[in-house]
Amino acid sequence: MADIALYHWEPNANSGKPMLALAEKGVQWDSHYTDLLNFDQHKPAYLAMNPQGTIPVMTHGDLVLTESTAMMEYVDEAFAGPALMPSDPRDRWRVRWWMKFMDQWLGPSFSMIGWSMFVGPSVRQKDPAELEAAIERIPLPERRVAWRKAISGNFSEEEMAESRRRVAEGVRLLEEELGKRPYVGSNQYTLADINIFNSTYSLPLGQPDLAGPDKTPNIMAWLKRIYDRPAVTEVWAMGRTDLAKRVTAMMEML
Amino acid sequence: MTAILYHGEPNAASFSVLAALAESGLEIECRAIDLLAGERHTIPGLSEPLARDMSIEGEGPVLVIDGEAMSDAVFLAQYLDDAAGGCGLQPSVAYAHWEMMMWCRQLTERLAPAAAYIGTLAHAQRKLAAIGADGFAKLAGTIAAEDLRARWQDLHDGTVDAAKVEDSRAKVAQFAQRAEDRLADGREWLMGDFSIADLETYGWMAGMRALEAEAFAGKPKLHAWFARIEARPSVQAALARATTDKPQNSWAPGPEINRWG
């Protein structure tokens, strides 16, 4: 048994961040697949580790870590292997800035669209009483609201339009950024690339009106560089849902 | 390299960066701007305005280096610490560093939007409403980000969302409790050693002590911590830049309250 364990869902969005960072570092870790669609993250044993009930959680010996972006910085600092943060202070600032832009502005819009199209429909057929009991166990009130919305499909046209606007704007800004440098925020592959890749790896498939070889050549070249990394192949082999199938289709496109 | 720090009154995000700069000992020119007059959006000489325009924290300070706008107080403070070769603002042990970043992440996502909502309604709304329609349209026209502009517009129009007020009050109370709990073991600073977490927490909480007094009642550890922070020379240096009696009442539109999960 490794000293490091990760409780994660699919190699996607927040779960994918530490998975990929650990793989890049060459760290061995025990995988605990935590099924978001089965509300595993709100069960007592999980809540005992992370009272907020968010995925992922990492343990390193007796230490427990949450918040996937800060967790990645820990992975980079605590383990040997290639540096995943630049050394120049301004580059470090830029990497952190882009991660926050993804985590707190663009990511929630991707997430709202993803939850309305994938997470909601995936759990909707479960027994309503069971679903209600599962929602009641969610510790954070804003997550309870999100789950109720996803299950009922009760998204307003206004909020979906705002999410689509932000995705379009975010993709435009990312394309512009990748025209300045080969990687997000710096000239080397960093945590910002890992972070943003985990929410944009299938963008040209999901949003062909926004991203593709003609519309976003910089993003396409950047995606290809990341797809070529062995760590990505290794981590994607751990996927269990249809999300992973999108990667095969993407690889054919690149 | 030319560097200029454009900052508001020493409160919220502007406070933490001014205090971090004093801690770092770096010589960077500081220029005070009136955030509530929209002056952040007309900073001259920006060749790369992205981080000013799309900053998650709203009207925070902007450090301009060689034409590139740098924003978001926690990362600016980390930048200053890095640029100074480590001035003690960030723990050097990986786990303690993670704890600080995790604290700041949850603070910027939960406490900061709440404090900004309450603070702007109490201290900025009337001033903005006093600007005539033409003047406000001109100001709003300089704001690049649509969602930030919408927060300015709501404030100007006096649009108040009761659910957001209630949610914000709860979040301020939760974070005050969280800080009190953190200090329960008798530690001097939130992360053990002094760090950016102390500056950020102080910056966003200072003005809440009067507006949300109930949230701070019966929290002796937190009050003692406020006194320790205020005794620090870097904090006194930051507060000495105030041009008003009560910089903790200076607010401008801040981060957005979570719109999804």
- Option in A77, A104, A163 nearest B56 (CB): A104
Q: Do A199 and A97 belong together in one domain? A: yes
Residue A21 sits in a domain whose CATH number is 3.40.30.10
Determine what percent of chain A falls in helix, strand and coil, rounding each to the nearest 5.
65, 5, 30
Residues of A in contact with B109 (CB under 8 A): 104
Given an 8 Å threshold on Cβ–Cβ distance, is B258 in contact with A90? no
Band (pLDDT 50/70/90 cuts) for residue A249 is confident
Q: Is the pLDDT of residue B9 over 80?
A: yes
Nearest chain A residue to B109 by CA distance is A104
The DSSP H or E segment spanning A135 is helix A128-136
Structural domains of chain A, count: 2
* Enclosing domain of residue A55: 4-78
Residue A205 in domain: yes
Stretch among A32-36, A235-239, A250-254, B150-154 having the lowest mean pLDDT: A250-254
B120 Rama class: left (phi>0) / alpha (psi -120 to 50) / beta: alpha
Confidence of residue A118 (pLDDT cuts 50, 70, 90): confident
Residue A57 CB coordination number (10 Å): 24
The predicted model gives A55-74 an average pLDDT of: 98
Same domain, A67 and A95: no
Q: What percent of chain B has pLDDT over 90?
A: 98
Sorted by where each starts, the structural domains of chain B and their CATH numbers stand as: 1-261 (1.20.1050.130)
Q: Most B CBs within 10 Å: which of A88, A90, A173, as the mutation test of the B interface? A: A90
Give A241's pLDDT tier (boundaries 50, 70, 90). Answer: confident
- B261 to A69: CB separation less than 8 angstroms, yes or no: no
Q: Is the ipTM of this complex over 0.90?
A: yes
Distance from CA of B108 to the nearest CA of A (A): 10
Q: Does A97 touch chain B (CB under 8 A)?
A: yes
Residue where a domain terminates, one of A78, A98, A133: A78
Percent above pLDDT 90 for chain A: 83
Indicate whether A134 belongs to any domain.
no
Q: Report the pLDDT averaged over residues B205-224.
A: 98
Burial B89-100 (b: 16+ CB within 10 A, else e): bbbeebbebbbb
Minimal Cβ distance to B105: which of A65, A69, A159: A69
For residue B13, what pLDDT is reported? Answer: 98
Contacts 24+ apart (CB under 8 A), B146-153: B146/A165, B147/A162, B147/A166, B147/B256, B148/B58, B148/B253, B148/B256, B151/B58, B151/B253, B151/B256, B152/B38, B152/B128, B152/B253
Residues A166 and A44 in one domain: no
Q: Out of A121-125, A227-231, B246-250, pick the least confident.
A: A121-125
My answer on whether A98 and A74 are in the same domain is no
A131 occurs within a structural domain: no
Please write down the long-range contacts of B85-92, taking CB distance under 8 Å and 24 or more positions apart.
B87/B23, B87/B24, B87/B25, B88/B23, B88/B193, B88/B194, B88/B195, B89/B20, B89/B23, B89/B24, B89/B194, B89/B195, B89/B196, B89/B199, B90/B195, B90/B196, B91/B191, B91/B192, B91/B193, B91/B195
Shared-domain flag, residues A205 and A177? yes
Any domain includes A83: no
Chain B residue with the nearest C-alpha to that of A169: B145
DSSP lists the bridge partners of residue A4 as: A60
Q: Which range, of A41-45, A238-242, B162-166, B228-232, averages the lowest pLDDT?
A: A238-242
Question: pLDDT at position A244, please?
Answer: 73
Are residues A209 and A113 both part of a single domain? yes
Peptide bond between residue B255 and the one before it cis (omega within 30 degrees of 0): no
With a cut of 70, say whether residue A160 has pLDDT above it. yes
How high is the pLDDT of residue A1?
62
- Domain final residue, candidates A49, A78, A107: A78
Residue A105 shares a structural domain with residue A13: no
Q: Which residues from chain A sit within 8 angstroms of residue B65, using beta carbons? A: 90
Q: Is the pLDDT of residue B261 over 90?
A: no
Supply B108's token pair: 């910027």
Q: How much is the average pLDDT of A170-182?
A: 98
| Structure confidence by residue, pLDDT tens digits, B78-101 | 999 999 999 999 999 999 999 999
**Mean pLDDT for the stretch of residues A128-135:** 91
Residue-wise pLDDT for A80-94, tens only, equals 999 999 999 999 999
Q: Write the DSSP string, B208-223.
A: HHHHTHHHHTT-HHHH
Answer yes or no: do A96 and A66 share one domain. Answer: no
